[in-house]
């Protein structure tokens, strides 16, 4: 299996892309999706695989520079990485690459080079940087027939074929084929649009080696970093002095609090980068007069951490009130049983009994000031959030 390196995608694909299979990243115009193919290349190279990049929309040297922008050093894999230059000849510039498509607007010439690579190289991951550009130069029908041949040849020689395709206004027949029987798997990459694109997502439209998964995953593209799954807002709430600010700061790669005399009087705000996820978290003050803020943020959040002081059951009534507010929005939540290092701290089982919660509600023991339990809690909540998207 060739791993794509895209967070959660390999899990959905039961481990990645089997050898001999083809996959297309089917992108809406205006979405930053080309990085999907690049991240797949880097992931395969890191795992010791051989990779080929067919560069048809820009010169190979610029593409190598783009890898560097994401923090991916592909120079260390020079003996495993090959570029096919299908751009320099188009603009009449010389090329230093081993494989050159001398007439990129001639599909027969293009196909001859690709078939030679498939026959000559050991099993590799072959990524087309822009199948759309090839289609624009050579015509829709001719390229589709060529893709059929490439995919069949790749199956015979155990290569993995990966295509970046932008769904410009091609014929409906072409678009249907791209999302249909032409490839073994189709990953749709789109934008959530409200006048402008303000969010991006991917989902599996098709995969013939695993079950279909219609769930969508939000993502953002970071430089450096590449594709990170994106959780726009997670709420951290709980009674006064339960350790919410400490929890936000412990979990965050960067955070800020607005406080007076050590007490939060506005929002805590943190940003988390962890195991392929990028998330913004917001902590609320614990006093009842701030409950309207909890309601406002709950309506915009995708998950909730309820932080409690496990040494202070007298505050549990207030904690139950805050939990009830967030539960009314149907959000997944995790209870943080904080201050487990102190005398008298209740165990998660005792907390569950005090709150009268069912067994499937996660209660994570934590010492936020020492970062104990905070990342475990994050992983549990993220699993709940992504399982419901």
Query: Is residue 3 assigned to a domain?
Result: no
Query: Is residue 4 assigned to a domain?
Result: no
Assess whether 271 and 354 both reside in one domain. yes
Structure confidence at residue 114 (pLDDT) = 97
Structure confidence at residue 197 (pLDDT) = 41
Assess whether 212 and 255 both reside in one domain. no
Query: Is residue 238 assigned to a domain?
Result: yes
Structure confidence at residue 195 (pLDDT) = 42
Last residue of a domain, which of 161, 193, 224?
224
Assess whether 209 and 333 both reside in one domain. no
Assess whether 110 and 205 both reside in one domain. yes
Last residue of a domain, which of 163, 194, 224?
224
Structure confidence at residue 292 (pLDDT) = 61
Last residue of a domain, which of 188, 204, 224?
224
Query: Is residue 315 assigned to a domain?
Result: yes
Assess whether 220 and 240 both reside in one domain. no
State the burial class of residue 244 (Cβ atoms within 10 Å of its Cβ: 0-12, 13-18, 19+): buried
Structure confidence at residue 141 (pLDDT) = 96
Query: Is residue 246 assigned to a domain?
Result: yes
**How many whole angstroms separate alpha carbon 199 and alpha carbon 339?**
37
Query: Is residue 2 assigned to a domain?
Result: no
**How many whole angstroms separate alpha carbon 181 and alpha carbon 81?**
29
Structural domain containing residue 34: 9-224
Query: Is residue 126 assigned to a domain?
Result: yes
Query: Is residue 296 assigned to a domain?
Result: yes
Structure confidence at residue 283 (pLDDT) = 82
User: Which residues, in sequence order, are bridge partners of residue 99?
Assistant: 84
Structure confidence at residue 220 (pLDDT) = 86
Question: What backbone phi and psi angles, to 5 degrees, belong to 351?
Answer: -65, -45
**Helices 348-355, 316-327: crossing angle, 10 deg rounding:** 70
CATH of the domain at 339: 3.40.50.300
Please answer whether residues 337 and 351 qualify as being in contact, where contact means their C-beta atoms are separated by less than 8 angstroms: yes
Number of domains in the chain: 2
Mind listing the pLDDT tens digit of every residue in the chain (389 residues)?
Answer: 999 999 989 989 999 999 999 999 999 998 888 999 999 999 999 999 999 999 999 999 999 999 999 999 999 998 999 999 999 999 999 999 999 999 999 999 999 999 999 999 999 999 999 999 999 999 999 999 999 999 999 999 999 999 999 999 999 999 999 999 999 999 999 986 544 445 788 999 999 999 766 667 888 898 888 998 888 788 898 898 899 989 999 999 876 665 544 444 457 888 898 888 888 888 876 556 555 666 655 556 788 999 999 999 999 998 998 888 887 778 889 999 999 999 999 999 999 999 999 999 999 999 999 999 999 999 999 888 876 54
**How many whole angstroms separate alpha carbon 55 and alpha carbon 53?**
6
Assess whether 261 and 344 both reside in one domain. yes
In tens, the pLDDT along 36-60 reads: 999 999 999 999 999 999 999 999 9
**How many whole angstroms separate alpha carbon 289 and alpha carbon 286?**
9
> No. of H helices and E strands in the chain?
13, 16
Assess whether 178 and 241 both reside in one domain. no
Assess whether 180 and 249 both reside in one domain. no
Assess whether 168 and 294 both reside in one domain. no
pTM of the complete model: 0.80
Assess whether 117 and 266 both reside in one domain. no
């Amino acid at each position: 299996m060739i791993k794509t390196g895209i967070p959660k995608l390999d899990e959905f694909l039961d481990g990645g892309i089997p050898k001999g299979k083809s996959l297309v990243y089917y992108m809406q115009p205006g979405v930053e999706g080309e990085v999907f193919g690049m991240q797949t290349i880097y992931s395969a190279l890191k795992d010791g695989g051989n990779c080929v990049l067919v560069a048809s929309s820009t010169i190979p040297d610029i593409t190598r520079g783009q890898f560097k922008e994401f923090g991916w050093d592909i120079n260390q894999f020079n003996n495993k990485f090959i570029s096919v230059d299908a751009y320099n000849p188009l603009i009449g510039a010389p090329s230093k690459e081993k494989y050159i498509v001398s007439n990129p607007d001639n599909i027969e010439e293009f196909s001859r080079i690709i078939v030679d690579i498939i026959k000559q190289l050991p099993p590799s991951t072959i990524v087309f940087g822009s199948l759309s550009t090839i289609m624009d130069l050579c015509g829709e029908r001719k390229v589709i027939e060529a893709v059929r041949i490439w995919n069949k040849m790749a199956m015979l020689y155990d290569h993995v074929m990966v295509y970046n395709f932008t769904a410009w206004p091609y014929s409906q027949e072409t678009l249907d084929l791209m999302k249909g029987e032409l490839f073994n798997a189709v990953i749709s990459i789109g934008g959530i649009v409200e006048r402008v694109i303000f969010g991006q997502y991917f989902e599996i439209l098709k995969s013939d080696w695993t079950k279909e998964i219609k769930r969508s995953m939000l993502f953002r593209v970071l430089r450096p970093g590449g594709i990170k799954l994106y959780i726009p807002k997670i709420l951290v709430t709980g009674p006064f002095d339960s350790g919410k600010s400490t929890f936000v700061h412990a979990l965050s790669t960067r955070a800020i609090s607005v406080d007076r005399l050590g007490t939060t009087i506005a929002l805590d705000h943190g940003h988390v980068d962890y195991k392929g996820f990028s998330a913004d978290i917001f902590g609320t003050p614990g006093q009842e007069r701030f409950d309207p803020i909890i309601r406002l943020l709950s309506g915009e959040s995708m998950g909730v951490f309820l932080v409690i002081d496990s040494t202070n059951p007298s505050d549990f009534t207030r904690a139950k009130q805050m939990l009830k507010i967030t539960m009314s929005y149907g959000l997944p939540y995790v209870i943080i049983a904080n201050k487990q290092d102190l005398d008298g701290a209740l165990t998660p089982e005792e907390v569950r009994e005090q709150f009268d919660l069912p067994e499937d509600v996660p209660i994570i023991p934590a010492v936020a000031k020492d970062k104990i339990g905070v990342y475990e809690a994050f992983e549990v909540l993220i699993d709940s959030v992504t399982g419901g998207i």
